[in-house]
């Protein structure tokens, strides 16, 4: 089968861009011909000049083609809206009133669909590319949409209204709470597939399980217990809980490493640490390429996923971070929110009371002192996560929605 994976925000640091590229890898590993078709705006163009090789950046096979389609409307500057306010959207809407067919002429997703038609693609897998899905249905190209939206935005509603069309093969969502919001849009239930997120387990297995060598490579301390968090630094991800937990632990024995985040976010958290007068050993390493994440995770003694009840997606998420932690064969401590407990339990990850830094500190202390518990947790977690690979996820998607 010839499959187009259609998206925007490539290349960026966003988790959804990693997720999309890994799906392309998953379809490719099943023996399909795969091409990634991307909308290119200012931010993506700028990032392309910074990144030497997009395939290496996302750690995907170089045989997968990547093609960019430039947005020629004012929306090219949409990701600069904080500086330009709402100008890109206002200018585009004004153009549409003057020239009703402007969207068809300038919209890169229309060009993507024409490319799919011209090159006889059998299927388009769309993430964050609802216009491309719409045009592909018109062009009689079967589409599958991946949606992680609880509140359905207008542009997605537009395509969901066509869900009874035979070229609309289905929607892939990540949890049961999302099912009701999508059913309300009139999607036939047989066209909704619920699948947890996934992990590229092969890239973890290629990294040797030797903490000393990995730490030497990454220039991390050899004589300390490393407690690590990787991912987004925005509010709700539990950074405040980690920082406050650090003050309950004996100084000198532990080194906390935070991987990810922009310079602005890192400076904000450093300011928070100073205001809290916390003297713990906390180091921010900033953003690291996806291909390096297995090395950082395997360098740690404990991994943290302290999701807060303040996290905007806490009721319906399926966190990529947790699956990567489980694949790393490093014991993990995570908050006991409902969605996490639907993925793993105390046999696979040690759970602490959500938003409770004192309990997190106690769980860190308990886990570091119990070697048997560490071994049991990482063994059970790894055995479970083997069921959640991108290859298996892509196989299920195609079987349920395309057979």
Whether residue 226 is predicted with pLDDT greater than 90 in this model: the reply is yes
Within 8 A by CB and 6+ apart from 25, the residues are 60, 61, 64, 200, 390
Residue bearing tokens 């300011």: 271
Question: What band does 250 get if pLDDT is binned at 50, 70 and 90?
Answer: confident
**Residue 386 confidence (pLDDT):** 95
pLDDT tens, residue by residue, 66-122: 999 998 877 777 766 555 455 555 555 555 555 555 555 678 999 999 999 999 999
Q: How far apart are CA 255 and CA 268, in angstroms?
A: 20
Q: What does the alpha-carbon distance between residue 142 and residue 166 come to, in Å, rounded to a whole number?
A: 8
Percent residues over pLDDT 90 in the chain: 80
Confidence of residue 276 (pLDDT cuts 50, 70, 90): confident
CB atoms within 10 A of CB 78: 19
CA–CA dist 244, 256 (Å, integer): 12
Domains of the chain: 2-71+107-198+389-402 (3.40.50.2000), 205-385 (3.40.50.2000)
Is 135:141 a contact under the CB 8 Å cutoff? no
Q: What pLDDT score was predicted for residue 280? A: 87
- 61, 21 in Cβ contact below 8 A? no
What's the number of CA atoms in the CB half-sphere (13 Å) around residue 268? 10
- Could you identify the residue written with the tokens 């900033």? 286
CA distance 235 to 312: 9
> Is residue 228 a contact partner of residue 256, using CB atoms and an 8 Å limit?
yes
Strand ranges inside 287-346, DSSP E? 302-305, 332-335
pLDDT bin (cut points 50, 70, 90) of residue 59 is very high
The H or E element that residue 180 is part of is helix 176-183
From CA 22, how far away is CA 383, in angstroms rounded? 21
User: What does 238-270 look like in DSSP terms, one character per residue?
Assistant: SHHHHHHHHTTS-TTTEEEEEE---HHHHHHHH
Strands 192-194 and 168-173: parallel
Which tokens is 11 given?
């290349």
Q: What is residue 38's predicted lDDT score, i.e. its pLDDT? A: 96
Distance CA 218, CA 173 (A): 36
Strand runs labelled E in 174-325: 192-194, 225-230, 254-259, 282-286, 302-305
- Give residue 202's pLDDT: 93
74/106 Cα distance (integer angstroms): 9
Q: What is the pTM assigned to this prediction? A: 0.91
What is the pLDDT of the chain when averaged over all its residues? 91
Is the model's pLDDT at 396 over the cut of 60?
A: yes
Per cent of the chain over pLDDT 70 is: 93
Q: Which residue has the tokens 């799906």?
A: 23
Work out the pLDDT band at 253, boundaries 50, 70, 90: confident
Q: 384 and 337 in contact (C-beta within 8 Å)?
A: no
CA dist 225 and 58 (Å) reads 29
Q: Once rounded to an integer, what is the mean pLDDT over residues 192-220?
A: 95
Please name the residues in contact with 201: beta carbons below 8 A apart, sequence gap of 6 or more.
327, 385, 386, 389
pLDDT at 86: 57
**pLDDT value for 97:** 55
């Amino acid at each position: 089968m010839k499959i187009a994976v259609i998206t925007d925000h490539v290349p960026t640091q966003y988790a959804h861009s990693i997720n999309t590229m890994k799906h392309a890898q998953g379809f490719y590993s099943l023996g399909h011909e795969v091409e990634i078709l991307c909308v290119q705006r200012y931010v993506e163009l700028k990032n392309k000049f910074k990144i030497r090789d997009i395939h290496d950046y996302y750690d995907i096979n170089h045989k997968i083609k990547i093609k960019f389609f430039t947005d020629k409307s004012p929306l090219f500057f949409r990701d600069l809206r904080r500086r330009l306010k709402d100008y890109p959207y206002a200018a585009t809407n004004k153009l549409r009133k003057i020239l009703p067919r402007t969207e068809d002429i300038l919209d890169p997703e229309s060009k993507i669909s024409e490319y799919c038609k011209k090159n006889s693609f059998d299927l388009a897998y769309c993430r964050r590319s609802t216009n491309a899905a719409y045009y592909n249905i018109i062009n009689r190209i079967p589409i599958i949409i991946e949606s992680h939206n609880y509140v359905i935005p207008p542009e997605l509603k537009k395509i969901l209204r066509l869900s009874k069309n035979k070229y609309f093969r289905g929607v892939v969502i990540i949890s049961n709470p999302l099912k009701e919001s999508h059913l309300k849009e009139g999607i036939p239930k047989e066209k909704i597939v619920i699948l947890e997120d996934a992990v590229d387990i092969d890239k973890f297995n290629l990294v040797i399980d030797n903490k000393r060598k990995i730490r030497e490579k990454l220039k991390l301390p050899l004589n300390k217990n490393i407690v690590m968090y990787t991912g987004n630094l925005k509010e709700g991800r539990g950074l405040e809980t980690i920082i406050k937990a650090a003050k309950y632990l004996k100084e000198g024995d532990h080194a906390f490493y935070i991987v990810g985040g922009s310079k602005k976010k890192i400076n904000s958290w450093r300011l928070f640490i100073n205001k809290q007068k916390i003297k713990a050993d906390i180091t921010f390493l900033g953003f690291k390429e996806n291909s390096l994440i297995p090395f950082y995770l395997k360098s740690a003694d404990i991994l943290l996923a302290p999701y807060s009840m303040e996290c905007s997606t806490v009721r319906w998420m399926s966190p990529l971070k947790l699956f990567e932690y489980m694949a790393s064969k490093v014991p993990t401590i995570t908050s006991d929110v409902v969605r996490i407990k639907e993925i793993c339990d105390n046999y696979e990850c040690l759970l602490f009371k959500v938003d409770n830094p004192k309990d997190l500190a106690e769980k860190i202390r308990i886990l570091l002192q119990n070697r048997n518990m560490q071994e049991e947790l990482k063994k059970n977690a790894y055995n479970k996560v083997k069921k959640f690979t991108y290859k298996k996820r892509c196989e299920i998607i195609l079987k349920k929605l395309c057979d």
